A and B are shown apart, each in its own frame.
Chain A
Amino acid sequence: MSAPATLLDKLWSAHEIRRAADGTSLLWVDRHLVHEGSHHAFGALRARGLPVAEPGLTFGVVDHYAPTRHRDRIEDASIRVMIDRLEANTAEHGVRLFGLNDPRQGIVHVLGPEQGLTLPGLLITCGDSHTSTHGAFGALAFGIGATQVAHVLATQTVWQAKPRAMRLVFEGKAGPAVGAKDMALHWIARLGTSGATGHAVEYAGPAVRALSMEGRMTLCNLSIEGGARFGMVAPDETTFAYVQGRPYAPKAADWDRALEDWAALTTDAGAHFHAEARFDMAEVAPTVTWGTTPEQALPIDATLPDPARLTGPQAEAVRDAMDYMGLVPGRPLAGTPVDQVFLGSCTNARIEDLRAAAAVLKGRKAKVPGTVSPGSMLIKAQAEQEGLDRIFIEAGLDWVGAGCSMCVGMNGDLVAAGKRCASSTNRNFRGRQGKGARTHLMSPVMVAAAAVTGTLTDARPLLEGRV
């Protein structure tokens, strides 16, 4: 018998074509997803006169620059040109595009799973660091830079050094209003933004098993914020039930063969992990970031740190972040007034996220303006069928189209300088949502709670009797 293997080992060896003398592997890519940012890579391909090696395994999506309002007339020429370029590049190379007016259009990491393009056991690359999202299906999925995108386009392969295996185990059961976003912010706050650098994270334990696919995607999505290029969850019945029947999922006899194959995608008992950490769900509260990196996160009932009690570079970093965020050291985090809210992004804009936020918002009014941008147009349609759109609109929030929107602001959906936004996104870096914007990351229920109170606030009392 061979030595016990991790899920990472199994996925890696299934895709390894060869290994170079220095240990770097040449890996086969099953799915390559491209968005507007691929123009440098298509340009490189053109400069060398090369075709796309596997147009049938390459899929284009308009998301980063997708307007969420007035799609029929894009006034900003620099945005128009980014979308036109992707349309032209995919058309030229015979690559299927989920374009701006496609009813299936959405954020690449939402659309892939929704269409069944994302499957257990596949290797998936995309020129976007949150590609780790797809690992929720037990896939080997990772973000790559433009030079690598060009390489995948030209060869359908990628050179990559195998990361070290790391396991994060979540024990126990989630408390009320606690979900995958809180689990992610919790581990990143504990281990730091480079806590998993060089590693592929496998999430395990009863609290991970209990998560829906939506929750697992949120958890894997945020792996990169802790430094891990890969995040993964071994597939199980929850995974198979989600995948079955999706447009690109295997059918009939292929489905049965696939299921047999996928059942083996687990970490063997006794397999070695280079690093492991355990977390107790009893300690995971609704969590909110206060600073300018995702590790600067606290339970909502905590008080802000005080740089006067710290020393050296740590004190400096805290002071710097507090300054940018316009916060007072030592004060309670809850009660901080916000100027607006945003519910969207590949982290938290799936149907379950919208339902969770709607549970808080139903019959209430938002005290501050805000935007709700579903992860895809299919989710938008489903939410409208369920009447969630009415809840958002009656609360006073804008219900708009799908795209990256205010997660990154490339489409012009920006937070103004000095404004504070309660956001369901993934990055609170300086200027991420717009120059001078102040971003607090949190779960969809916590965004909804911030909307109805106009402050950072604990969602738990607002949910009582509602879920």
Chain B
Amino acid sequence: MAGWTRHQGQAVALPRANVDTDQLIPARFMSASRAEGYGRFLLHDLREGDPDFPLDRHPQASILVAGENFGCGSSREAAVYALVDAGFRVVVAPSFADIFAGNAVNNGLLTVATDQARAILAVLGDGTLSGTADLAAGTLRIGDFDIALTLPEAVREKLINGWDDIDLTRAHSGEIRNFRDRRKSDHPWAFPST
């Protein structure tokens, strides 16, 4: 996955709370190969039959502003793939579900939890606002709204460098091996032999 430091794009509103992962990508699409692209599955059943759906009115948008508890439900990372493949780099909401937020970082998608999301939604209405996320400066600006990003350093670095953790972790393989040996002698039942 490619990293990014600065992103400039159009923000669009999805004024719903509890947008769950079954909405973000219905289960029936999850056997598709990622190479085919998951963007067309994004919010599939909500969009279908609604020509006014915000995302279809503004297909170029790359910053999504939504209601609280965004991404609740299953651990399916495909929900993040659908957003990323549809061109989104940033999601702003009052709150996110834990697993979704973790999956997002691993795919270069910035999630910004802020109470200002409600005010931004009100200003956005059916339209768009231009937005800029700057990971180096730690700022997000949407229209006239300024939001300070409070990212843990590791998250910021991951997004900027497009790292996945496997390399980072393998640098600690000695420590991991020692831990394993200790665990095996203290808790032999944790290593089943059947």
Interface residues of A (CB under 8 A from B): 17-18, 20-24, 26, 28, 30, 37, 40, 43, 48, 50, 56-57, 65, 78-79, 81-82, 117, 119, 121-122, 127-129, 143-148, 150-151, 154-157, 159, 161, 163, 193-194, 197-198, 227, 229, 247-250, 254-255, 257-258, 261, 293, 313, 317, 408-410, 427, 429-432, 435
- Taken together as a complex, chains A and B put the C-alpha atoms of A56 and B180 apart, in Å, by 13
Residue in A119, A144, A197, A435 whose beta carbon sits within 8 Å of that of B26 in the complex: A435
Residue of A nearest to B154 (CB): A22
The range of chain B's interface size is 35 or more
Interchain nearest-CB distance for A163 vs B (Å): 8
Q: Write out the residue numbers on chain B whose beta carbons fall within 8 Å of the beta carbon of A79.
A: 31
Task: Verify A427–B152 contact, CB threshold 8 A.
Answer: no
Interchain nearest-CB distance for B40 vs A (Å): 16
Judge whether B106 is part of the interface by a CB distance below 8 angstroms: yes
Residue of A nearest to B26 (CB): A431
Task: Verify B69–A193 contact, CB threshold 8 A.
Answer: yes
Q: Which of B23, B28, B31, B164 has the most CB of A within 10 A?
A: B31
Task: Verify B152–A429 contact, CB threshold 8 A.
Answer: no
Q: Write out the residue numbers on chain A whose beta carbons fall within 8 Å of the beta carbon of B188.
A: 250, 254, 257
Given A144-B75, A227-B72, A227-B98, CB of A17 within 8 Å of CB of B31? no
Task: Verify B166–A193 contact, CB threshold 8 A.
Answer: no
- Taken together as a complex, chains A and B put the C-alpha atoms of A293 and B31 apart, in Å, by 25
Residue of B nearest to A144 (CB): B75
Given A17-B176, A28-B183, CB of A427 within 8 Å of CB of B22? yes
Offer 15 A-B interface pairs, CB within 8 angstroms, sorted by A: A18-B175, A21-B154, A22-B155, A24-B152, A146-B78, A157-B169, A197-B95, A197-B97, A227-B72, A227-B98, A247-B194, A250-B189, A254-B189, A427-B73, A429-B23
Q: Write out the residue numbers on chain B whose beta carbons fall within 8 Å of the beta carbon of A65.
A: 31
Residue of B nearest to A147 (CB): B106
- Taken together as a complex, chains A and B put the C-alpha atoms of A431 and B180 apart, in Å, by 43
Number of A-B contacts (CB under 8 A): 169
Q: Which 9 A-B pairs have the closest CB atoms?
A: A250-B189, A145-B103, A147-B106, A146-B77, A145-B77, A22-B152, A143-B75, A194-B69, A429-B22
Task: Verify B179–A28 contact, CB threshold 8 A.
Answer: yes
- Taken together as a complex, chains A and B put the C-alpha atoms of A197 and B96 apart, in Å, by 8
- Taken together as a complex, chains A and B put the C-alpha atoms of A255 and B188 apart, in Å, by 10
- Taken together as a complex, chains A and B put the C-alpha atoms of A254 and B185 apart, in Å, by 11
Residue of A nearest to B103 (CB): A145
CB neighbors of A among B51-95 (8 A): 67-69, 72-78, 80, 95
- Taken together as a complex, chains A and B put the C-alpha atoms of A431 and B98 apart, in Å, by 22
Q: Which of B28, B106, B175 has the most CB of A within 10 A?
A: B28
- Taken together as a complex, chains A and B put the C-alpha atoms of A62 and B183 apart, in Å, by 29
Task: Verify A435–B45 contact, CB threshold 8 A.
Answer: yes
Task: Verify A194–B27 contact, CB threshold 8 A.
Answer: no
- Taken together as a complex, chains A and B put the C-alpha atoms of A258 and B186 apart, in Å, by 10
Judge whether B153 is part of the interface by a CB distance below 8 angstroms: yes
- Taken together as a complex, chains A and B put the C-alpha atoms of A95 and B114 apart, in Å, by 43
Task: Verify A430–B176 contact, CB threshold 8 A.
Answer: no
Task: Verify B192–A117 contact, CB threshold 8 A.
Answer: yes
Q: Write out the residue numbers on chain B whose beta carbons fall within 8 Å of the beta carbon of A151.
A: 164-166, 169
- Taken together as a complex, chains A and B put the C-alpha atoms of A313 and B76 apart, in Å, by 28
- Taken together as a complex, chains A and B put the C-alpha atoms of A432 and B30 apart, in Å, by 13
Task: Verify A408–B180 contact, CB threshold 8 A.
Answer: no
Q: Write out the residue numbers on chain A whose beta carbons fall within 8 Å of the beta carbon of B169.
A: 26, 151, 154-155, 157, 159
CB neighbors of A among B1-30 (8 A): 17-18, 20, 22-23, 26-28, 30
Given A79-B31, A128-B74, A429-B23, CB of A145 within 8 Å of CB of B172? no
| Interface contacts beyond A26-B172, A145-B75, A157-B169: sample of 9 additional A-B pairs, CB < 8 Å, sorted by A | A40-B77, A81-B31, A143-B74, A145-B99, A156-B176, A159-B165, A197-B98, A250-B188, A435-B45
Q: Write out the residue numbers on chain A whose beta carbons fall within 8 Å of the beta carbon of B72.
A: 193-194, 227, 293
Interchain nearest-CB distance for A416 vs B (Å): 14
- Taken together as a complex, chains A and B put the C-alpha atoms of A17 and B168 apart, in Å, by 14
Task: Verify B166–A24 contact, CB threshold 8 A.
Answer: no
Residue in A24, A197, A313 whose beta carbon sits within 8 Å of that of B154 in the complex: A24
- Taken together as a complex, chains A and B put the C-alpha atoms of A151 and B176 apart, in Å, by 13
Task: Verify A248–B98 contact, CB threshold 8 A.
Answer: no
Task: Verify A57–B191 contact, CB threshold 8 A.
Answer: yes
Task: Verify A410–B17 contact, CB threshold 8 A.
Answer: no
- Taken together as a complex, chains A and B put the C-alpha atoms of A40 and B38 apart, in Å, by 13
- Taken together as a complex, chains A and B put the C-alpha atoms of A430 and B73 apart, in Å, by 12
- Taken together as a complex, chains A and B put the C-alpha atoms of A254 and B20 apart, in Å, by 43
Task: Verify B152–A194 contact, CB threshold 8 A.
Answer: no
- Taken together as a complex, chains A and B put the C-alpha atoms of A224 and B34 apart, in Å, by 27
Task: Verify B69–A227 contact, CB threshold 8 A.
Answer: yes
Judge whether B190 is part of the interface by a CB distance below 8 angstroms: yes
Task: Verify A429–B17 contact, CB threshold 8 A.
Answer: no
Task: Verify B166–A145 contact, CB threshold 8 A.
Answer: no
Residue in B69, B78, B153, B194 whose beta carbon sits within 8 Å of that of A22 in the complex: B153
Q: Write out the residue numbers on chain A whose beta carbons fall within 8 Å of the beta carbon of B180.
A: 28, 156
Given A26-B169, A145-B80, A248-B194, CB of A194 within 8 Å of CB of B97? yes
Task: Verify A48–B45 contact, CB threshold 8 A.
Answer: no
Q: Write out the residue numbers on chain A whose beta carbons fall within 8 Å of the beta carbon of B165.
A: 147, 151, 159
Residue of B nearest to A30 (CB): B190
Residue of B nearest to A159 (CB): B165
- Taken together as a complex, chains A and B put the C-alpha atoms of A100 and B80 apart, in Å, by 29
Task: Verify A21–B153 contact, CB threshold 8 A.
Answer: yes
Q: Which of B68, B99, B102, B170 has the most CB of A within 10 A?
A: B99
Task: Verify A194–B164 contact, CB threshold 8 A.
Answer: no
Task: Verify A155–B166 contact, CB threshold 8 A.
Answer: yes
- Taken together as a complex, chains A and B put the C-alpha atoms of A393 and B107 apart, in Å, by 48
Interchain nearest-CB distance for A324 vs B (Å): 11
Q: Write out the residue numbers on chain B whose beta carbons fall within 8 Å of the beta carbon of A197.
A: 69, 95, 97-98
Residue in A28, A50, A127, A198 whose beta carbon sits within 8 Å of that of B166 in the complex: A50
